Chain A
Amino acid sequence: MEKVIYDLHTHSALSPCGDNDMTVNNMLNMAVLNGIQVMAITDHNSCKNCPAAMEVAKELPIDLIPGMELCTSEEVHVVCLFPELERAMAFDAYVHDHLPAVENRPEIFGEQRILNASDEIIGYEPYLLINATTISIEETVPLVRRFGGICYPAHIDKSSTSVFSNLGYFSADWGFSAVEIVSRDNIPQLAAQIPGFEDLLVLHSSDAHYLWDISQGENFLFCNNFRHTLGLY
């Protein structure tokens, strides 16, 4: 068993709410400086900065997992992680087809920058990424599995866009094997509300939208193989 320091929930400049300084190089280098060994970039409803990030990560002592923070039709956020870029991008295309055709208004929501490995802007995502997709929470686990990935509900103890804020309950039927929590202080209460809580992998990540929000080594797991522990093969 080894201690693996991770941060599996971060937003790049592609997310409208992500700071424009959240370029792939800035994020990954900051993560390395912070001692993070495994990181995921999880923009809202898009993986389009993962290709650049994967390229940058090749040169750095960090394992980058391509990911996405999916917004379900119930406006519940779900972290989706993939074993490789190709699968993530296939999922990205699927999700894009399930986004409402509402154009982003950068002056209201923020820019949605698509970057290359040199942090140059190579495009802008036209559709507003913070919108709800037409994918319901019941569909997420089998859907993401079909693309070879794993998923779990994000910040379940948050007062918005979480299973508890928007649905009010947690169903074992959804099939999640992990959850992301904001504060460990909420564990006793969550354990009482979630059937089979003791069998769930409890993760804690930064949900960083700014460089200074990226985890500083406080989140870790003791395991033999981090990816396998998550269910990524």
Chain B
Amino acid sequence: MKKVTVREIAQTCGFSVLAGADALDRQADRVFCCDLLSFVMGRAPADSAWITVMGNVNAVAVAVLADTACIILAENAVLDGEARSRAEGQGVPVLGSPHPIFDTGLLIQRMLED
């Protein structure tokens, strides 16, 4: 499957970089959408671009555990301060999208299928 870097996702889709600017070369090969962290933990594929509205510290921990390529906060959901410092510390890129979850995922899916 085609892979895109988190940097390419941010640039092509117009998403802002909320944290983890040093880790934008990480590659993603699929999209995963879910908000319930206990579900994400067991189901998010490694190297996925995980889209959620959960911008708290536990979301960052779950991204590390599941080894997702990044977190993308849809709907302009807020990344809180504790989560931002955890993401910086763990090198987890976090992007911000103004679009709803489905539309955010669709933009990335189109890049992967291009």
Given contacts A105-B65, A108-B65, contact A160 B38 (CB under 8 A): no
Residues of chain A from 88 to 146 with CB closer than 8 A to chain B in the complex = 100, 102, 105, 108-109, 128, 130-132
Contact at A75–B36, with CB atoms within 8 Å? yes
| A159: Cβ under 8 A from any B Cβ | yes
A161 in the interface (beta carbon within 8 A) = yes
Q: How many of chain B's residues touch chain A, expressed as a range? A: 10 to 19
- The stretch among B1-9, B14-22, B53-61, B100-108 that forms the contact with chain A is B53-61
Residue in B38, B65, B78 with the greatest tally of chain A CB atoms within 10 Å = B38
Contacts of B36 in A (CB 8 A): 74-75, 132
Contacting residues of chain B (31-48) with chain A, CB-CB under 8 angstroms: 36-38, 41-42
Secondary structure class of chain B's binding surface, majority of residues: helix
Residues of A within 8 A of B65 (CB): 105, 108-109
Chain A residues bordering chain B, tally (CB within 8 A):
15
Give A contacts to B, CB under 8 Å.
Answer: 17, 74-75, 100, 102, 105, 108-109, 128, 130-132, 159-161
Taking Cβ atoms with an 8 Å cutoff, the residues of B that contact A are 36-38, 41-42, 54-58, 61, 64-65, 78, 80
